[in-house]
A and B are shown apart, each in its own frame.
Chain A
Amino acid sequence: MAIAKAERLMNLALCLLGTRRPLSKRELRGSIEAYMEAGNDESFNRMFERDKDDLRELGLVIETVENLDGETGYLARRDSNRLPPVSLDAEEAAALGLAAKVWQQARLAGAASGALQKLRAGGMPEADNPFEGQHSAIEPRIPVHEAAFEPLMLACRDRRPVVFDYRKSTAARPETRQVEPWALECWRGHWYLAGHDRDRGAERVFRLSRITGRVRSRAGKYTADVPDVVTVRETVAAWAGESAERSALIRLRAGAGYPLRAKATAVREGSDGWDELEIPYGHGLDAWLVEFGPDVVVVEPADLRADVVDRLRAVAAG
């Protein structure tokens, strides 16, 4: 029976952590049963390289040292691999316990549990149940439904350029985009990417659910500077019409349109069964007002009134 990968990785980690002098591939192959059974040199080499990468993903710093005979040796020094002392009290431990449950994405959920286990091995006190008594009864969850999330997260982390097909909200066909990814942000349950769009030579924000097909990595470095602060939310909020600079006056049937009332900057109750509201006028307001059908009439400005009438005509004719 083939030896389980976790056993092989564990043995490699223990060998590299336990040695004071660099171990050659030959020595490692002689120490670890799974490598002895690996068959020919080529399959052993492939396996060994992959295993080293996996251990590095787990945070292990593996040094490569050439010895006098020109043979490459490997070791993981204790002082570059140890977790510095962290003294967390029970409250802080409970807070991190809550944070570790938040991810609904396999890679980050695994990483969060792994971090907590390292802290636990380092003496972090056991948390009391966060849902009892003195803590907020909140269960926060970070949803990740987009297939593009993981490759983009790794690309942002490693600063690797990517290429993907992207369909803008109003476009019939996807278009290939070459992007230097900067940061990912989740807002209202959806993920967005900010980065430098190489073809447009400018910063762009992408909604991950509109990426079609695979995200492919590109070799090479970034060509544009990465800003210190990347603001995704402001851009997306503007798309959502939340950066209104103008104001509109509408008539709203009494009792209807609570969300419009909640947004209104002024409300005048009328005696004819209609109220007058002033509301912020940003991108997309016309489409939103049309949802309320005969319960809303736009008074001004004229361009908004015309847009709403135009939309209503299209529905009436549909």
Chain B
Amino acid sequence: MAANAIDQTRRMLSLVTYLRERPGAHVADVARAFGITEDELISDLDVLPMCGTSFRGGDLLDIDTDGERIWWHNADASGESTAEPLRLAADEATALLVAARAVATLPGLRESDRDALLRATAKLEAAAGEAAGASSRLSVTFEAEGGVFADVDRAISERRRLWLRYYSPARDELTERTVDPIRLFAVGHTYMEGWCHLSEARRTFRLDRVAEIRLLDERSEPPAIEPRDLSVGLVQPAAEDPEVVVEVGPAGRWVAEYYPHDSAEELSDGGLRITLRSPDPASLRRLALRLGRDGRIVSPEGLADSARQAAREALAGYGETA
């Protein structure tokens, strides 16, 4: 059974309208058209024969399947109740319209795709009528660097290798690398996932950190790897990564919002003691410097020392001593 009765009901209402027009439809085709698995479809088809306009009158939907094709023997008996699709609900109109508007504003998107999105949005707004009203109360902006986006997009479709000058904030340096692009995705910012020949590993690149990009004439041949799951956070520290403990005051609580962490313990002054893991603790020197009087690195000691040392050197640049 579907986990969510609301979603299943919604789907079954559309399904009966769809099946009515298509006697003997193939299970595989219908599942694809509805964006569900064949098992989900079969579970719907198990429920539908229990449904009808009157249980006592016996006019239940006589829908059955042999696992390959679907037959509805009394489609006419269900009368007009299943003849047409139902109007869009407010949440349905909102979900599609907000997403379509957001994608349409992505800088670098191909114009043909942008046009199709805008045309579809206008038609959907007209069809949704009043239900479209609430969609203006939700909006999403994706950030992307249009030029870089278009180059990565082209490299993927033409299967070409890329050359990048890429900025690493952890080390404050630009590195040159060749990358076989795998995919382009947007989660707030826009990223490219690719096979990096410099690190000989899969890497994720944020487009606004690409300082320079060129399409090469070499063929892109990334190894077959499982694409990463975009529903979990982009930064996934490994269990073996060294532990870093940071103590922040109330004004440093933002650290817990920006850094994935193992624990954040409340302190009596309204601050937090945050334990996180990083494959490269030295990269957190930036954080220690940024925090100033709002927090400090408790451990490892070497990291705390390097932040103090950097601050002393910086002060010397102002003719000051600590």
- The residues of A with any CB-CB pair to B shorter than 8 Å are 3-7, 9-11, 13-15, 17-19, 30-33, 36, 54-55, 57-61, 78, 80-88, 91-96, 98-100, 102-104, 106-122, 126, 133-143, 153, 156-157, 167, 169-173, 182-190, 209-210, 232-233, 251, 255-259, 262, 287-288, 290-297, 305, 309-318
Instruction: Determine the residue in chain A with the shortest Cβ distance to B313.
Output: A294
Contact in complex: B88, A169 (CB < 8 Å): no
Q: Given the complex, which residues of A lie within 8 Å of B82, measured CB to CB?
A: 14, 17
User: Which B residues are CB-close (under 8 A) to A292?
Assistant: 172, 289
Check A10/B86 contact, CB under 8 A, given A83-B127, A135-B110.
no
Of B32, B137, B149, B314, which contacts A183 at CB under 8 A? Answer: B137
User: Which one of A33, A134, A173, A294 has the greatest number of beta carbons of chain B within 10 Å?
Assistant: A294
Residues A117 and B292 in contact, CB atoms below 8 Å apart? no
Chain A neighbourhood of B230, CB < 8 A? 104, 139, 141
On whether the beta carbons of B80 and A18 are closer than 8 Å, the reply is yes
**Chain B residue at minimal CB-CB distance from A32:** B55
The residues of B that contact A138 with a CB separation of less than 8 Å are: 103, 106, 109, 149, 153, 184-186, 190
User: By the criterion CB–CB under 8 Å, are A256 and B51 in contact?
Assistant: no
Other A-B pairs beyond A157-B94, A316-B311, 18, CB < 8 Å? A6-B8, A15-B53, A15-B54, A36-B55, A55-B9, A59-B89, A83-B88, A84-B129, A95-B103, A95-B113, A114-B92, A185-B140, A232-B139, A259-B167, A259-B169, A297-B314, A315-B291, A318-B308
B269's contact among A14, A55, A109, A172, by CB below 8 Å, is which? A172
B196 at the interface (CB under 8 A from A): no
Knowing A18-B80, A139-B186 are in contact, say whether A112-B285 is a contact too (CB < 8 A): no
Q: Please encode chain B, from 90 to 109, with 1 for each CB lying within 8 Å of some chain A CB and 0 for all others.
A: 11111110011011001011
Q: How many angstroms from the CA of A143 to the CA of B310 in the assembled complex? A: 36
Q: A173-B270, A209-B257, A288-B290 are in contact. Are A262 and B95 (CB under 8 A)?
A: no
Do A83 and B100 touch (CB < 8 A)?
no
**Which residues of B sit under 8 angstroms from A232, Cβ to Cβ?**
139
B92: contacting residue among A31, A92, A111, A184, CB under 8 A = A111
Q: Kindly state whether residue B124 has any CB partner on chain A within 8 Å.
A: yes
With a cutoff of 8 Å between Cβ atoms, the chain A residues found around residue B224 in the complex are none
Interface residues of B in 12-69 (CB under 8 A from A): 12-15, 17-18, 32-35, 47-48, 50-57
Residue numbers in B under 8 Å from A156 (CB-CB): 134, 137-138
Which residues of chain B are within 8 angstroms of A5 by Cβ–Cβ distance?
5
Please, how many angstroms separate the alpha-carbon atoms of A83 and B17 in the complex? 12
Q: How far is B225's CA from A242's CA once the two chains are assembled, in angstroms?
A: 38
In the bound complex, what is the Cα–Cα distance between A93 and B116 (angstroms)? Answer: 8
**CA separation between A99 and B36, bound complex, in Å?**
16
CA of A139 to CA of B230, assembled, Å: 10
B151-195 vs A, Cβ < 8 Å mask (1 yes, 0 no): 011001100000000010100111000000001111111100000
Contacts of A251 in B (CB 8 A): 317
Which B residues are in CB contact (< 8 Å) with A297?
314, 317-318
Contacts of B92 in A (CB 8 A): 59, 111-112, 114-115, 118
Question: For chain A, what secondary structure do more than half of its interface residues adopt (helix, strand, loop), or is it mixed?
Answer: helix
Contacts of B270 in A (CB 8 A): 171-173
Please list the residues of chain B having a beta carbon within 8 angstroms of any beta carbon in chain A. Answer: 1-2, 4-15, 17-18, 32-35, 47-48, 50-57, 78-82, 84-96, 99-100, 102-103, 106, 108-110, 112-113, 116-117, 119-120, 123-124, 126-127, 129, 131, 134, 136-143, 149, 152-153, 156-157, 167, 169, 172-174, 183-190, 211, 230-231, 250-251, 253-254, 257, 269-271, 285-286, 288-293, 296, 304, 307-308, 310-318, 320, 322
A255 to B174 Cα, complex, angstroms: 8
Give the 3 A-B CB pairs with smallest separation, nearest first.
A172-B270, A189-B188, A59-B89
- State whether A315 touches B286 (Cβ < 8 A): no
The interface residues of chain A lying within 8 Å CB-to-CB of B17 are: 121-122
Q: Is the CB of B99 within 8 A of A142?
A: yes
Q: In the complex the two chains form, what is the Cα distance from A317 to B184 in whole Å?
A: 44
**Residue numbers in A under 8 Å from B189 (CB-CB):** 188-189
Q: Which residue of A lies closest to B52 (CB)?
A: A14
* Cα distance A204–B40 in the bound complex, in angstroms: 44
